[in-house]
Amino acid sequence: MNHENGKHSIESKDRYLCFILGGEEFAIPLLSVKEVIALPEITHVPQTPPYFLGIMNLRGQVITIIDLRTKLTIKPGQSSENNAVIICDLNPNSIGVVVDSIESVIHPLASEISEKPDLQNTKTNEYVEAVFRKDQRLILLLNIAKTLNVQDLNAISSSINQATKKAA
């Protein structure tokens, strides 16, 4: 997504992974997605925020897992076998994001994208970049990196360091 004069412009090559959180549709840039996996066994890390579910081992790499529903104060949908973890690349770390289900990969046209609504006094306003209009549905395009603030990133680093020390 390019930013020109403060406005969003979607290039024809921009694609997004669409997913469900609490009955609502969201999407993140496909380029930030490393992979999608089934909900794994997660090791809880004490003294972390409530949306940090813990850590997991993914082929020898320690990945922090967060519940995006809790982070965005969205009531989780029904727990099911459709729950998935999106592994996102947020240099230098990767993070796992739990979602209710994965929908599809979307390839919006610039004409289908609107500026984000003015969601004053809501946390979500910081994270939503734009809105994609698909038929009668609205899909919020998220900036996944912005959902994590400096304290979150410090907690991720701390949990990875703790796990690495215990494993050594």
Residue 144 within a domain: yes
Is 142 a member of any domain? yes
Q: Are 54 and 135 in contact (CB under 8 A)?
A: no
Q: Does residue 167 sit within a domain? A: no
CA-to-CA dists, residue 35 to 97, 102, 117, 125, 157, angstroms: 11, 12, 30, 26, 21
Residue 168 counted as domain residue: no
How many domains does one find in the chain?
1
In a domain, 110, yes or no: yes
Q: Which residue from 27, 26, 8, 18 is spatially nearest to 115, judged by alpha carbons?
A: 8
Query: Is 12 inside a domain boundary?
Result: yes
Task: Answer yes or no: is 40 within a domain.
Answer: yes
The CATH number given to whatever domain includes residue 94 is 2.40.50.180
Domain hosting 15: range is 2-162
Question: pLDDT tens, position by position, for the chain (168 residues)?
Answer: 444 444 445 454 689 999 999 888 999 999 999 999 998 999 988 888 888 899 999 998 889 899 888 888 887 666 677 889 999 988 777 899 999 999 999 998 888 888 877 665 565 567 888 889 888 888 989 888 877 765 666 666 665 566 556 655
